[in-house]
Homo-oligomer: A and B are copies of this chain.
Amino acid sequence: MESTKIILDENEMPKKWYNIVADLPTPLEPPLNPATNEPISPDELAPLFPQALIEQEMSSERYIDIPDEIRDIYRLWRPSPVYRAHRLEKILGTPAKIYYKHEGVSPAGSHKPNTSIAQAYYNMKEGVERITTETGAGQWGSALSLACNYFDMECKVYMVRSSFEQKPYRKSLINLWGATVVPSPSPDTQFGRKIREEFPDTSGSLGIAISEAIEDAALNENTKYSLGSVLNHVMMHQTVIGLEAQLQLEKVNEYPDVVIGCCGGGSNLAGLSFPYIKDKIDGKHNAEIIAVEPSACPTLTKGKFEYDFGDTAEMTPLLKMYTLGHSFIPPAIHAGGLRYHGESPIISNLYADGFISAESYHQIEVFDAAVTFARSEGIVPAPESAHAIKSTIEYALKCKQTGEEKTILFGLSGHGHFDMASYDKYFNKELSNE
């Protein structure tokens, strides 16, 4: 039997993160202070982030060492497995070979801990005792809670109220790992109180939650703020995914013709694809890289590449990125992790330069693909990850038509154990086809 899982030893886990900023053909445009339109200085970020992360955010070093204390936690689930999807290939009748990197094996169930562990560590090293963040569906909030738990730090999560009420179990996870979670807008911040007075019935938004978390970090001692996607250092932390995948596919003498990942803020796609994009930049290989987004939030496929705020309340620096406009509010699709108006500046840069292409799919066809995957491979995918599955299936079916034996690698960014209510809606035909 050909093997199904490609496993690495702990000692094969990457010892450095890959910082693609060192290799970008077009230099990144800097974040700007909206008041002055001048590039943000490291000092201006100091109230929110520890020094080490600010340095990483602005670094152009190609490789940055992963501290042993972080690797010591990564190895609880890393290296994550690469699977050959034999059963999915068979069901599709495709000559393509389908591989997937499974990040759902982390305790929080997604790729998010790759950066939450790193961020909590650097905060702890600099004496920070408390971290604030926002979360939509709860993946990021639970991942940061897990990380703060490992380093004995307090964590406060502002969770978009509609999710707080509709997704009780990610909230339970946050509690289990010892963090505090409140529905946003909350009475705990000035901004939250203001919104609650003006709009008592609001269901909240990621923009409001970001503003609350930032205000909390800025006003409270020994407290910093943490972001789960978009920023350069977050993209870099996630590259352990692609670095491992390259080594794993080498072991079976494969190099992918195409690398596919779902894309919201961009950290999942960045993590898997950046080491492959390096090979493209270096002229060594030329894998196609596909970003898959929901039609309901088509940042790359329909957005504009311009400076915009990261939040609705205009509290963040201006970032040069693909954006739907910071006041854009996407429909309440079940892939909550992909509902962001903007896009990582690095991913935006690479997309503009043609290193990445993008596709978008509607909600129901994405769930169709998720069910096909669950019934062939067994694993229940997160709705976010199912976007990559949908694109993979399309690609594999094209190969069936052409007879090409291409090699596909896609990122299974997380499992869907906390998304079963969404599957229920799908089976009950209650899903809107956004």
Contact = CB atoms under 8 A, between A and B. Distances in A.
Contacts of A175: 423-424, 427
A247 B178 CA distance: 36
B375 A423 contact: no
A169 B109 contact: no
A380 B173 contact: yes
A379 B172 contact: no
A5 interface: yes
A76 interface: yes
A39 interface: no
Interface residues of A, number: 46
A177 B374 contact: yes
A329 interface: no
Contacts of A75: 1, 3-5
A9 interface: yes
A423 B107 contact: no
30 contacts: A1-B68, A1-B72, A4-B75, A5-B75, A7-B9, A76-B377, A76-B378, A107-B377, A108-B378, A109-B417, A146-B378, A150-B378, A168-B421, A168-B424, A169-B417, A169-B420, A169-B421, A172-B420, A172-B423, A172-B427, A173-B380, A175-B423, A175-B427, A176-B371, A176-B374, A176-B375, A176-B427, A177-B374, A415-B417, A417-B417
Given A77-B378, A109-B417, 18 more contacts: A1-B10, A4-B10, A7-B7, A87-B150, A107-B377, A107-B378, A150-B378, A168-B420, A169-B421, A172-B424, A175-B424, A175-B427, A176-B375, A176-B423, A177-B374, A178-B375, A417-B417, A417-B418
